[in-house]
């Protein structure tokens, strides 16, 4: 989050206790706008998805996504205001995803937010998309700092200690693919379509999770990092070898179980390490955020883990785990209350780590 001060930043002077913030999200294939009030009320949360268009190509096409954002952002914002029943005179600030993400889409949201902030004389907040996910549980569950975060989305798999707004310590990250990428690539191997996460989960309901023997990369390792590319390769090799000897649902269930086991093991290590190295003023809480957090099989595994370690678990509702603008608006609320607007010369970022001081994990293809 940038906090540089320049002349064209509107002064934060209204509604400090319960501001009304317009949020914009456009980092991937969802064009979203939401209005959130500081008393934890989501007044509107409008999403226009272009996933059906991208499904024809087997994944998100950046140029197509950017054009879709251009076409739909204005009507989505108008619908958000209408649904919330508020006028521009009641809006206290505008927050928009400033990265990381597909730079074309991020540019569309950022330019629109800056223009509206300047026109309406409102403070502008450039929000890290990952921080939007990280802070969602404070909107939905009022989780207090500090807490442990498992961030599992299409492009990121990380474990972080969330100390405060803008203050993160990364404990682990993926060395290669993210869990969400594995779901998408696994679904493509099995012919289940895009997006892969929901498709794998639906198919797995009818499958045998023990049918296909798949590895659990890094299980038992003394660090908190992840690796999923080998699991993707193992699934493809098993499918090539066995073909229709097993039902597609068996492959899906076996893959989902392997991913859940990997997440369980790495979070277990992170809980142990965080207990060793940090003091919590109250019962520790694990927050699970990002699109993969909506997977019920993974959620059940993590519920079991937290029960064993006497750790609280907070998982936002599924509609707030996938990309949405309510989480961006809430992050704007957090920064508004701290009187930390962004400069209008903020430059969108295709990559934007939450902990830029973290050492890279061992291995190649490091994701920040």
**Domain count for the chain:** 2
Query: At 254, which CATH number?
Result: 3.30.420.40
Query: Quick one: 97 and 195 in the same domain?
Result: no
Query: Quick one: 149 and 280 in the same domain?
Result: yes
The pLDDT score that the predictor gives to residue 56 is 44
CA 85 – CA 94 distance, rounded (Å)? 17
For residue 167, what are the contacts with CB-CB under 8 A and spacing of at least 6?
A: none
The answer as to whether 366 is a domain residue is no
pLDDT value at 267 more than 50: yes
pLDDT value at 54 more than 90: no
Query: Quick one: 123 and 166 in the same domain?
Result: no
Query: Quick one: 310 and 330 in the same domain?
Result: no
CA 15 – CA 9 distance, rounded (Å)? 17
**Strand, helix or coil at 67?**
helix
Query: Quick one: 131 and 158 in the same domain?
Result: no
Query: Quick one: 331 and 253 in the same domain?
Result: no
282: pLDDT confidence band, cut at 50, 70 and 90?
Answer: confident
CA 96 – CA 139 distance, rounded (Å)? 17
Query: Quick one: 250 and 328 in the same domain?
Result: no
Unique residue bearing structure tokens 């879709």: 68
The answer as to whether 37 is a domain residue is yes
pLDDT value at 4 more than 60: no
Q: What is the pLDDT of residues 7-38, one digit of tens each?
A: 344 555 556 679 999 999 998 878 999 999 99
Query: How many other CB atoms are found less than 10 A from the CB of residue 198?
Result: 18
pLDDT value at 60 more than 70: no
The pLDDT score that the predictor gives to residue 101 is 87
pLDDT value at 278 more than 90: no
Which of 61-65, 113-117, 239-243 has the least mean pLDDT? 61-65
| % of the chain surpassing 70 pLDDT | 89
The answer as to whether 197 is a domain residue is yes
Query: Quick one: 296 and 173 in the same domain?
Result: yes
The answer as to whether 365 is a domain residue is no
DSSP state at residue 345: T
The answer as to whether 5 is a domain residue is no
CA 141 – CA 109 distance, rounded (Å)? 27
Query: Quick one: 208 and 74 in the same domain?
Result: no
pLDDT value at 365 more than 50: no
Range 32-58 burial, b when 16+ CB lie within 10 A, else e: bbbbbbbeeebbbbbbbbbeeebeeee
Tell me how many degrees the CA angle 214-179-239 measures, rounded to the nearest 5.
35
Q: What is the mean pLDDT of the chain?
A: 90
Q: Which domain holds residue 25?
A: 20-138+320-337
pTM for the model: 0.89
Query: Quick one: 112 and 181 in the same domain?
Result: no
Phi and psi at residue 188, to the nearest 5°: -65, -45
The answer as to whether 353 is a domain residue is no
């Amino acid at each position: 989050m940038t906090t540089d001060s320049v002349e064209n930043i509107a002064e934060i002077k209204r509604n400090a206790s319960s501001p009304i913030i317009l949020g914009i999200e456009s980092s991937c294939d969802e064009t979203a706008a939401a209005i959130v009030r500081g008393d934890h009320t989501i007044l509107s949360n409008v999403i226009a998805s272009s996933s059906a268009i991208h499904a024809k190509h087997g994944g998100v096409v950046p140029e197509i996504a950017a054009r879709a954002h251009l076409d739909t952002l204005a009507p989505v914002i108008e619908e958000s205001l209408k649904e919330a029943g508020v006028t521009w005179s009641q809006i206290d600030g505008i927050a928009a995803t400033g990265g990381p993400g597909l730079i074309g889409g991020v540019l569309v949201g950022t330019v629109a937010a800056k223009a509206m902030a300047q026109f309406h004389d409102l403070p502008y907040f450039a929000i890290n998309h990952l921080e939007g996910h990280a802070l969602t549980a404070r909107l939905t569950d009022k989780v207090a700092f500090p807490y442990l975060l498992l961030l599992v989305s299409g492009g990121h798999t990380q474990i972080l200690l969330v100390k405060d707004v803008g203050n993160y310590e990364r404990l682990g990250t993926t060395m290669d693919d993210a869990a969400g990428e594995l779901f998408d690539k696994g679904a493509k191997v099995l012919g289940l379509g895009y997006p892969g996460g929901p498709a794998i989960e639906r198919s797995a309901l009818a499958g045998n999770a023990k049918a296909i023997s798949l590895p659990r990369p890094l299980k038992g390792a003394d660090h908190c990092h992840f690796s999923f590319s080998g699991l993707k390769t193992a699934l493809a090799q098993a499918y090539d070898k066995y073909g229709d000897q097993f039902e597609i649902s068996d492959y899906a269930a076996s893959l989902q179980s392997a991913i859940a086991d990997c997440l369980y093991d790495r979070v277990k290590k992170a809980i142990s390490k965080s207990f060793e190295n940090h003091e919590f003023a109250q019962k520790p809480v694990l927050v699970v955020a990002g699109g993969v957090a909506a997977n019920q099989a993974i959620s059940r595994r993590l519920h079991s883990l937290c029960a064993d370690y006497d750790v609280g678990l907070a998982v936002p509702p599924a509609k707030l785990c996938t990309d949405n603008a309510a989480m961006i608006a809430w992050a704007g609320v957090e920064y508004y209350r701290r009187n930390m607007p962004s400069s209008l010369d903020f430059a969108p970022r295709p990559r934007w780590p939450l902990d830029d001081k973290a050492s890279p994990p061992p291995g190649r293809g490091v994701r920040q």
